[in-house]
Amino acid sequence: MFDAIDFRHRSTPDSDSGSLGTLVRGQFAALAEAAGLTGPREELEHLGDAMLGPSAALPVRAPGWWYSEVSDDHSPVEYSLSFEPGLPPQLRLLAEPNGIPPGVRENVAVGRRVLRGLAERYGFDLRRFALIEDLFLPDRPQGAFGLWCAVVLTPHGEPSFKVYLDPGAQGTGRAPELVEEGLARLGFHRARPLVGDAVADGGRLMYFALDLGQWSRPRVKVYFAHDGGGPEDAARAASAVRGSSGAAVEEFCRTVAGPGPFAMRPLVSCYSLVDAEPEPPDGYTVHVPIRDYVEHDGEARARAVAVMHRQGHDPAVLDRALAAVTRRRLDAGVGLISYLSQVFTPRAQRLTAYLSAEANQVRPPRTRVPHAVSGR
């Protein structure tokens, strides 16, 4: 689908004016061009608006915005670019559809409508989502959020979708129970001990995610944070995946953010589960919150580029993506590059850079970085 439009004359919108939808449509289209994912303009614009729901009409940086956890600046949108050796990049847009006025219950109602509208337009079913909907979207949600939606674009093929749910939807004390029950309902009975092991090792359950749409190998993903932990905690979590390298996990964490322990935002581990796999989990990913361990985005870019060079990726794609999202100098703020993540499995070695829309604010540079990388 995404193969036939010239975006060369489009420019990144000014993030201080216009609506949130206008900003996101422009950034998304510019990012698609940066990644070589050209396609029908009206389709990209529809996705940008549809993912946001009614909040697409809100003025940028307007008072009364929902304090979303999707992005570092608490705007309800985040982008990411994924790189694998020998393959073109993938572009993802993650959004929290907001009600007007916003609130967890209001956002859930809008999110359900958004998800069903996407399913109807792009022809995917919601049967797997329906199996767990009552667990994570109760009538009286108690979590920090209800429903996040993501779309993933690749050079050839229909867009694919993901949904993210809050394990704390029925209270943080019930989070392990909800995740275990969700895994069981989706057929992953043998994966349930992973939840208890992660929590026993100090992990805090963060997200339960589900692939929807045109995926060759649809996954279920469980995310958990290592509060106050370091690279060795991520390496220990990775050891549950056959063929993963704890040493490689530790090296990646240290290269991106230093030796730890990470006193600000924590490392986040993710297990992925695939129906065809008899021995869960199928994959492991570590997410490193680089934004909290650099002075500014120029430093974050330098670390990202160093990793890309080691893995044989073209950093020019990242530079084009950064230019697609912002016009500011990279050393004028921090948080534009929010996370770097790495998949560690024998099947895939995927690097992902997460980018903020900075629709709500630009965080100033830091003068002091906790646990800075020595010798850099």
- Note the pLDDT tens digit of each residue in 296-345: 999 999 999 999 999 999 999 999 999 999 999 999 999 999 999 999 98
In the chain, which ranges are continuous DSSP H helix?
A: 20-34, 41-52, 104-122, 127-136, 175-185, 192-200, 231-238, 246-257, 297-311, 315-325
Of the candidates 318, 300, 335, the one whose C-alpha atom is nearest the C-alpha of residue 80 is: 318
Render pLDDT for 246-282 as a digit per residue (tens, 0 to 9).
999 999 999 999 999 999 999 999 999 997 566 778 8
Of the candidates 82, 86, 81, 94, the one whose C-alpha atom is nearest the C-alpha of residue 30 is: 81
Which H or E element spans position 78?
Answer: strand 77-83
Looking up tokens 């998304």, which residue turns up?
28
pLDDT value for 367: 83
Rounded to whole angstroms, the Cα distance separating 357 from 93 reads: 10
pLDDT value for 64: 64
pLDDT value for 16: 56
Looking up tokens 């709500």, which residue turns up?
360
Sites in the chain below the pLDDT cut of 50: 1-14, 372-376
pLDDT value for 277: 62
Torsion angle (degrees, nearest 10) of CA 365, 369, 373, 375: 80
Pair 291, 338: CB distance under 8 Å: yes
pLDDT value for 67: 86
pLDDT value for 158: 79
Residue-wise burial string across 344-375, b where 16 or more C-beta atoms lie within 10 A, e elsewhere: bbeeeebbbbbbbbbbbebbebbeebebbbee
Q: How many CB atoms lie within 10 A of CB 294?
A: 25
Say which DSSP state 332 is in.
G
